[in-house]
Structure 1
Amino acid sequence: MFRQILSSSLKTPLLLCQPRVYYQNFVMNDTLAQLERECERYCPVPRFPPQKVTVLGAGSDVGRIACLFLKQQRVIRTLSLYEDDPERGVFGVANDIAHIDTSTAVRAYQGRVFLKDALDDADVVVICGGHYLLPPCCNTLDRDLFMENMPFVRTSAIACAQFAPHAIIAIQTPPVDANYALVRHTMKIARNYDKRRVMGMNAVNAMRANQLFCAACDQDPSSSQLPVICGTGRCTRVPVFSGAATKAKNFPMGKIGCLTRLVREADEIICRVKSNNEQGHLSLGFSTARFATCLMKGLFETSTYIDSALVEQADPEKCYGMKYCATPLKISKGGSLEYLVPEINDFEKKLLKDSRCDLEDSLNLGRCFAHGEEYYLHPCKLPQCYYVEDCPVVKPCSKKQSN
């Protein structure tokens, strides 16, 4: 008995005197600190992320709707709301969403001073702030819209490169084609670019195409997925109806051209029909939330399928010879795992050929502003010049021939 008490008394001080281990960096040299950050980025050390989604521009109409749906997802533990514009009350939005009885915690940040806190340990960053199209949207050029949203998107990209190097960046701010190129080149300049972790959202176009197709052939939209390739803009999106039309028995092939026009002009149609002079913010917000949810499920649960996203292709030859193209993706723990390129028919090939020039011009617009270069119109957009051959010089007739 005495031996048991003595042994127990000896064990207790040993447990109390064990030193605690603090995993904290006390290196004061900038060079060594940079090497340590690079080691944490590339070394296969087990990382325990907080399953956090940060929405930049959460006070916008699209951001509010997206945050409403993201609050209901169990895969998201922390939902961070950030807004740069003081007129958009992000604290009121966060307080309102926080009353929803789900397990997701909500955090709100206002102003650029708190941008680092909003992005800290984020796994997915959604850029959805800025200005959107308003009627008459058919007269609004993508270049004008890009100039309004470019400062916000570029600031967000620089902050993501510095404060959220591991996060997947999903761009929803229009025009998505140009802003994707802006974010891509900005991350590349910061030496923190990974093509598997920078995406331009094309989910709303794929969702609209799937809904129109299923309504035409009387099918359940939840049982089918219809991809949209090439780009995300009005003149660059190419819905692929041919693959699903061949499988459907009661789908008239003559409606492909009409449905394609409806998908490409969906923004203008919604602007004209809605009485409050707004774009389709409801469908944009829902598709944005579903896109971010698929990313989180692919990172933390199992590999998931995304309808369409503008990314840098691994093999351009397999993607219609295009290095940057919107295609369906398979998301895993590391980001984009597989690029699923659908087969297209002759009508879609012709539409893709016509849309490729506009996509390259939009990508060039974002690249020029990322590098600080002067924007120039893409050569394919320049009008063709027609040269007329000079008239042949005729020798004057001699006097003998004239007589």
Structure 2
Amino acid sequence: MFPTRIPLFIKKTVFSANARFSSSNSSSIVTILDASCKLGKNLALLLKQSPLIGELRLYDKNRNICAIAEDLSHIDTRTKVKSFGGRPVLKHAVMDANIVVTIGGCKESIRETPKQMFERNVDDVRLAALHMIEFNPKGIFCITKPPIEAMVPLVTEEYKKAGVYDSRKIIGITSVASMRANSHVAVNTGKNASDIVCPIVGGLSSDCVVAVLSQVRPKGLNVTGRGGLQKCIGNSEDDVLKLYADCGTVCLTPALAISRFVNTLLKALQGETNCVECAFVRQTGHIGQFLPYMTSIVRLGRHGILSSHMPKVNGEESHLLKKYSVIIKEHIRLGETFVTGEAIENKEEELVPFGTDKNTKPVQQRV
């Protein structure tokens, strides 16, 4: 179904102090929403060092964001930092930005459910979406507030209602799951984590993410105990929260993962080819029949999502994805109905077996 072969090797880099002098195009504007949280501060610190960003905007309804921006502005890189404090200036924060990232609202306790996180974060995400629709409909809106399995459909419905929907512009960032998968596979195989690329599919929540261990690169790795490894990858956030004793949120790994995704996206916007990541996006074709939204491999281009692709999965991964699809559909329905207000019938839908079309003919899905 997919004529092009997607390279799974993505060079993972952290910009060095000297890298800032190598960029000839640093006019891009990136806005971080709700930037005064711990995750926001870490992300801003990382993006301030990116040679691809000309202006970094920090927005928060809390006016102490000005102090954070002033602190960051003393870092000797070419990226300029501007602060926007208070809801009345949200429109100025998103206006003309190439990329707007809404962050924060992370899981605060292992007992917190996706629905509770949705209720806590939905107003902020919807407010940001409405401002993007009115003041920057052509900008790329990246969503990291959980659960993204509900937030991305919610934003999509708001864009559709306003008549400005473009599926290329709405992206749920799931790179933190890819990073965790790479790390766990490295421990399992005894290899260098920076050399490993493990694609993920499904969603981002612990009961939605499926690591495609059968397609780990480089090839030939002896990955053992795959069932237990899947659980470790899915429970990574909860494991850290337990160590924090519910007194903090996971804010270090996500910050680096989001910054990597933003930098890859910026490279694509500036014309670089082969910019490939995993993200939660709208699906089309036979994959869309299975799940209308899902984490898959995406190729990024000058206008956002260029194409999405499903890696080949084995029987165990296919079974797990089919199991999780029921949960993902519930999250999707939660986000969509928040906007539409429609009472969707709670009927048992016949799941299309993964890897087949409606006529049960085999469909090859290779990357």
Q: What corresponds to 1:41 in structure 2?
A: none
Alignment match of 1:152 (pick from 105, 124, 140) = 124
Matched, 1:85 2:54: no
Residues 1:270 and 2:240 aligned together: yes
Residue type at the aligned position of 2:302: K
Alpha carbons of structure 1 residues 378 and 183: separation in structure 2 relative to 1, 3 Å: farther
Partner of residue 174, structure 1: 146
Q: Secondary structure at the match of 1:247?
A: coil
What amino acid maps onto 1:98 in structure 2? S
1:69 aligns with 2:43: no
Q: Are 2:280 and 2:294, in contact at CA under 8 Å, matched by a contact in 1?
A: yes
Q: Which has the higher contact order (CA 8 A, sep 6+)?
A: 2
Q: State the alpha-carbon separation in 1 of the partners of residues 269 and 123 from structure 2.
A: 30
Cα distance in 2 for residues equivalent to 1:192 and 1:226: 34
Change (3 A) 1:55 1:121: same
Residue number in structure 1 paired with 2:320: 351
Q: Taking every aligned residue pair, what percent have the same amino acid on both sides?
A: 27
Question: Does the Cα contact within 8 Å between 2:278 and 2:298 map onto a contact in 1?
Answer: yes
**CA distance in 1 between partners of 2:343 and 2:151 (Å):** 16
1:57 aligns with 2:26: no
Q: Which amino acid aligns with 2:77?
A: T
Structure 1 residues 226-245: aligned runs within 5 Å: 226-244=198-216
Match of 1:116 in 2: 91
Unaligned stretches of 5+ in structure 1? 1-47, 381-403
Instruction: Please tell me whether residue 208 in structure 1 is matched to residue 180 in structure 2.
Output: yes
Q: Give the alignment of 1:180-329 within 5 angstroms.
A: 180-244=152-216, 247-249=219-221, 251-253=222-224, 255-274=225-244, 277-315=247-285, 317-318=286-287, 321-329=290-298
CA contact (8 A) 1:52 1:79 kept: yes
Distance 2:343 2:81 in 1: 41
Question: Do the aligned partners of 1:49 and 1:121 also contact (CA within 8 Å) in 2?
Answer: no
Q: Which residue of 2 aligns with 1:134?
A: 108
Aligned CA distance change for structure 1 residues 328 and 252 (closer, same or farther; 3 Å): closer
Aligned to 2:14: none
SS at match of 1:78: strand
Q: Does 1:340 align with 2:309?
A: yes
Q: Output one character per residue of 1:43-77: Cα deviation in whole Å (capped at 9) or x when no partner.
A: xxxxx994100111111111111111111111110
Count of aligned positions: 325
CA deviation after TM superposition for structure 1 residue 314, in Å: 3.4
User: Following the alignment from structure 1 to structure 2, what is the Cα–Cα distance between the partners of residues 119 and 300?
Assistant: 19
Structure 2 CA distance for partners of 1:376 and 1:285, relative to 1, 3 Å: farther
Distance in 2 of aligned mates of 1:95 and 1:375: 48
Contact 1:297 1:304 in 2 (8 A): no
Whether 2:341 is the aligned partner of 1:364: answer: no
Give CA-to-partner distance per residue, 1:305-355, whole Å, 9 cap, x none. 34310111233x257833321111111112111223111111101100100
**For 1:219-260, what per-residue CA distance to the aligned partner results, in whole angstroms no more than 9, with x for missing partners?**
2222332111011112111111011279234x243x211110
Distance, in Å, in 1 between the alignment partners of 2:309 and 2:283 is 10
Tell me what 1:107 maps to.
82
Report the Cα offset of residue 290 of structure 1: 1.2
- State the structure with more CA Rg: 1
Which deviations, in whole Å up to 9, do the C-alpha atoms of 1:253-304 show, x marking residues without a partner?
Answer: 3x21111001111111110012572232111111111111111111014024
1:303 partner amino acid: T
The structure with more helix, counted as a fraction of residues: 1
**CA–CA separation in structure 1 for the residues paired with 2:306 and 2:165:** 16
Distance apart, 1:182 and its partner CA:
1.0
CA distance in 1, matches of 2:302, 2:259: 19
* Residues 196 and 218, structure 2, Cα contact 8 Å, conserved in 1: no
User: In structure 1, the residue corresponding to 2:141 is in which secondary structure?
Assistant: strand
Question: Alignment partner of 2:204: what SS?
Answer: coil
Query: Which runs of 5 or more structure 2 residues have no equivalent in the other structure?
Result: 1-24, 350-367
For 1:103, the aligned partner's letter is R
Distance 1:338 1:144 in 2: 32
TM-score of the superposed pair, with normalisation by structure 2: 0.83
Aligned-residue offset at 1:362: 0.1
CA contact (8 A) 2:195 2:218 kept: no
Question: Structure 1: how far apart are the matches of 2:26 and 2:253?
Answer: 30
Q: Which residue does 2:299 correspond to in 1?
A: 330
In 2, the alpha carbon distance for the partners of 1:373 and 1:222 equals 46
Matched position secondary structure for 1:205: helix
| Contact 1:364–1:378 (8 Å) recurs in 2 | no
Q: Is the 2:282–2:294 contact (alpha carbons within 8 Å) kept by the matching residues of 1? A: yes
- Letter of the structure 1 residue corresponding to residue 28 of structure 2: Q
